Amino acid sequence: PTAIIVATGKGAQHGILIKDAESLEKLAKVTTIVTDKTGTITNGTPEVTDVIAFDNQTEESVLQLLASLESKSEHPIANAIIKKANNLKIELLNTNEFQIIEGKGLKSTINNNQYFAGNKKLLQDLNITFDFSILDKYTEQGKTPVILLNDHAVLGIVYVADSLKESVPNVIKSLHKQGLKVVMLTGDNSKTAKYIANQAGIDNFYAEVLPVDKAKIIKELQGKGEIVAMLGDGVNDAPALVQADIGIAMGTGTDVAIESASITLLKGDFTKVLDAVKLSKISLRVIKQNLFWAFAYNILGIPIAAGLFYPFFGLLLSPIFAGAAMALSSVTVVANSLRLKTIKL
């Protein structure tokens, strides 16, 4: 308990909030780290880079409709589109019957007409014919397409780009050196996901993943014997954070994600992943040392106190020494635990 308390305090000083002792111990045994993309390994502040209009629409009308649809969404991409519309002083329209389509987009009614905003899967669900090769030029540059459509046609596409956090490639490299596998899960287009994964140095990723599928993928990894830590920041990451052996939330994320996780990294600092793993491993080592010293004094002292060596060597242990050994074992354990305060993260 002393080691756990000191380690938890040390973590808090460095922006790592640990909810329970079990999480701290489990993290040392993790074999695979699964991470979300937007807001976790990227900065979470995407910007609109391109606007393409179809079906007699203009760039302004596409932005107006899309920003109006996204006005009730809390997703970082929605914020980027709304910000772009505000910068261009485009007036937003009133929307009704707003509805999130999980993992695919959203829909709402504007001036009695139903509009949708979302990804490739949404188009497929609505059976709308579209040449998806149009997207390739932009997605290969790491841009995420947000498609605007009505019941029968695509009206426009807005491309949004989110930059990778500077620290991510070095952190991923360090995790690989420790023998940990790193997997990225994202609802993004596969080409966009590949671009980000290559930049980050992540060798395995799953793209176009629905929120419910994130938890299933983690369950599959666990079924293969992997001990999984999941990093996420959004509402859609909550099921995966709960399913993982260790859920790690970014402090800049949603309340739902933070509540679902057992460890929270303040300020969304990705480098804290390395610090958390290091703290966990050192803490587990100290706990094992404490167990050794707690038993060692007694294992050595009990046979002597029982008179086992008296017939041979005339050795007996006074109760005074037994009391001293008991106190010394406690002092050793506490002193050893306090060493955790001096480690550098």
Angstrom CA distances, 303 to 295, 298, 300, 315, 332, stand at: 13, 9, 7, 10, 21
Q: The sheet that has 143-149: what strands, in order across it?
A: 47-53, 154-161, 143-149, 113-118, 105-110, 96-101
What does the alpha-carbon distance between residue 213 and residue 150 come to, in Å, rounded to a whole number?
A: 27
Using DSSP's 3-state secondary structure scheme, residue 319 falls into helix
Catalytic residue among 36, 162, 237, 275: 36
What does the alpha-carbon distance between residue 239 and residue 241 come to, in Å, rounded to a whole number?
A: 6
3-state secondary structure 70-95: HCCCCCHHHHHHHHHHHHCCCCCCCC
Task: Dump the DSSP string for 275-301.
Answer: HHHHHHHHHHHHHHHHHHHHHHHHHHH
Across-strand partners of 164? 42
Q: What is the dihedral of CA 268, 269, 271, 274, to 10 degrees?
A: -50
Residue with tokens 């997997």: 183
Token output for 323: 């009391």
Neighbours of 319 (CB within 10 A): 8
The answer to whether residue 275 is catalytic is no
CA 55 and chain centroid, separation: 39
Phi, psi of 17 (to 5 degrees): -95, 120
Question: Do 90 and 79 form a contact (C-beta atoms < 8 A)?
Answer: no
Burial class (CB in 10 A: 0-12, 13-18, 19+), 314: exposed
Question: Do 63 and 84 form a contact (C-beta atoms < 8 A)?
Answer: yes
Element (H, E) at 229: strand 228-232
Residue 110 amino acid letter: I
Token output for 165: 């956090």
Residues with active-site annotation: 36
